[in-house]
Amino acid sequence: MPVSHDNPLVLVFADLQMEYLPPGRGHVILDADAAITRCLALLALWRSNRWPVMHLKRIAEAAWFNPSSRLTDWIAEAKPRPGEMTFEHALPSAYSSSRFADYMSNIRNVRCVLTGFSLDETILATVVEGFHRSHRYQVITDAVACREPGAGEAAVYKESVVNVIANFATLQSSAELIRASGAVAV
């Protein structure tokens, strides 16, 4: 469906932070390069059309996601620009940010297109909590990635998480989203 002012799509980037990239880190993301490539293509489309963009940033007081660490910095190519919304959240759900929760409760008829990292934490928790608040989310399945599972095959783990998310959000590929937005495929 084409994007309209009556039913705007907000592109939401979840936790596109350096913390997820260094090998050997506890939260290293699987297939990060493929997800980043698709996220950046969507970001370029949204920015060129001046559609709303929102960035979520995971911070915490724990040894990981420590706000004073440079590892919480944005991935350079996905760094927010002036005018784009940013929200820091301490717990997995973006709704743990009171600013985010307030913003989402004060807008009507918006659909959030959710992409980025932390599929098995931030994206899952945000979609479930949003569902219970009657907020609508679309998860772009080829523009999300999750951390390496403790055991088992990574693709099976990601597919299992996506299957759970399907109970609370619409699933779509980046190509379908780009076609539906009326843009030429990137």
Residue-wise pLDDT tens digits, 144-177: 988 766 666 878 888 999 999 999 999 999 999 9
Mean pLDDT of 42-52: 92
Determine the Cα–Cα distance for residues 168 and 152; give it in Å rounded to an integer.
25
Structural domains in the chain, CATH included, are: 9-180 (3.40.50.850)
Using an 8 Å Cβ cutoff, are 144 and 115 in contact? yes
Q: How many CB atoms are located within 10 Å of the residue 118 CB?
A: 25
3-state secondary structure of 42: helix
pTM for this predicted structure:
0.85
For 88-97, how does the pLDDT look when each residue is reduced to its tens digit (9 = 90+)?
998 999 999 9
